[in-house]
Amino acid sequence: MGAIYRREIGAYFTSSIAYIFLAVFWTFSGWFFYAASLTAGTTDMSGMFQSLFLVIIFLIPILTMRLFSEEKKQKTEQGLLTAPVSLGEIVFGKYFAALTLYTIAILMPFVYAMIMSSFGHVEWGIVFANFLALFLLGAAFIAVGTLISALTENQIAAAVMSFVALMALYMLDLVGGLINIVWVQNLLKSLSFYTKYYSVTVGLFNVSTVVFYLSVAFIFNYLTIRVFERRRWS
């Protein structure tokens, strides 16, 4: 797994996706930090964290689009699948590489918090809870993007499809609001990615949120492994 992870991190930087991803993410987070915290003169960063939800819906597809599609297109997939490693190692090696880059990006709010701490009191617990929620949300979304990347050999198609999928997950409870059946509404609400994230940003952190995002991440990575297993047996 280590070899795949290191190669993937290296590829992020040689293909300049890492720079684009980090630059765009930091630009947006900086802008929201400025607009929601600095101009308002508050150390509360929940406004910024709420806005980042949409930013990562746009950016995570860029992070995951080439993970497997590029391997397939360049025919390097064959080398990977005939190497003495398990499918789990391959999928998680790539997944963790994307997650690492994402984590580097979302560490930035700690820098903002440090800046603010010289002007006023910062609730570090809340900042950390928000960071954790953003991390878990990303962990789930990256798993979705990884699966979609394994389904196509076209990077752009993978990016667009991931974007549509993440948008659909985002709008689960909006759709729920339109359907007048109580149990469907409740089901969609309980599956909502946004509601859970939003409640953390307003200060409600609970374990079920952690479990939910981690389960989603696990399920989608498992599905990616299944995709490769199926392909071999087809």
Partner 1 sequence: MIEVRHLTKHYGDKHAVNDISFTVEDGEILGFLGPNGAGKSTTMNMLTGYISSTSGTALINGVDILEDPIKAKSYIGYLPELPPLYLDMTVKGYLHYIYDLKKCKLPRRAHLNEVMTLTQISDVQDRLIKNLSKGYRQRVGLAQALIGNPPVLILDEPTVGMDPRQIQEILSLIKKLGRNHSVILSSHILSEIQATCDRIIIINHGVVAAHDTADNLSKNVSADHRVLARIEGPREEIVKALRNIDGIRYCRADMEREPGVFEYELEAAPGYDIRRQLFDIVCEHHWYLLSLRSAELTLEDVFLKITMGEGIVLPDADKQAAAQTEEG
- Where on the chain is the footprint of partner 1 (CB under 8 A)? 2-4, 6-7, 10-11, 14-15, 74-86, 232-233
Answer yes or no: are the C-beta atoms of 82 and 99 closer than 8 Å.
Answer: no
CB 200 within 8 A of CB 120: no
82 vs 180 by CB, closer to partner 1? 82
Note the helical H segments in 17-65: 17-33, 46-64
Residue number, 6 or 189, with CB nearest to partner 1? 6
Cβ closest to partner 1, residue 85 vs residue 169: 85
CB of 230 vs partner 1, minimal distance in Å: 10
Q: How far is the CB of 89 from partner 1 (least distance, A)?
A: 9
Q: How far is the CB of 6 from partner 1 (least distance, A)?
A: 7
Least separation in angstroms between residue 78's CB and partner 1 is: 5
Q: Which is nearer to partner 1, 4 or 140 (CB)?
A: 4
Q: CA-based Rg of the chain, rounded to a whole angstrom?
A: 19
CB 45 within 8 A of CB 109: yes
CB of residue 77 vs partner 1: minimum separation in angstroms? 7
| Identity of the residue, 77 or 142, whose beta carbon is nearer to partner 1 in the bound complex | 77
SS (HEC) of 89-147:
HHHHHHHHHHHHHHHHHHCHHHHHHHHHHCCCCCCHHHHHHHHHHHHHHHHHHHHHHHH
The long-range contacts involving 76-85, CB below 8 angstroms and separated by at least 24 positions, are 80/4, 81/228, 81/232, 85/1, 85/4
Q: What is the spatial distance between Cα 125 and Cα 203, in angstroms, rounded to a whole number? A: 10
CB of 2 to partner 1, least distance (A): 6
Query: 38 or 81: whose CB is closer to partner 1?
Result: 81
How far apart are alpha carbons 38 and 158 in whole angstroms?
37
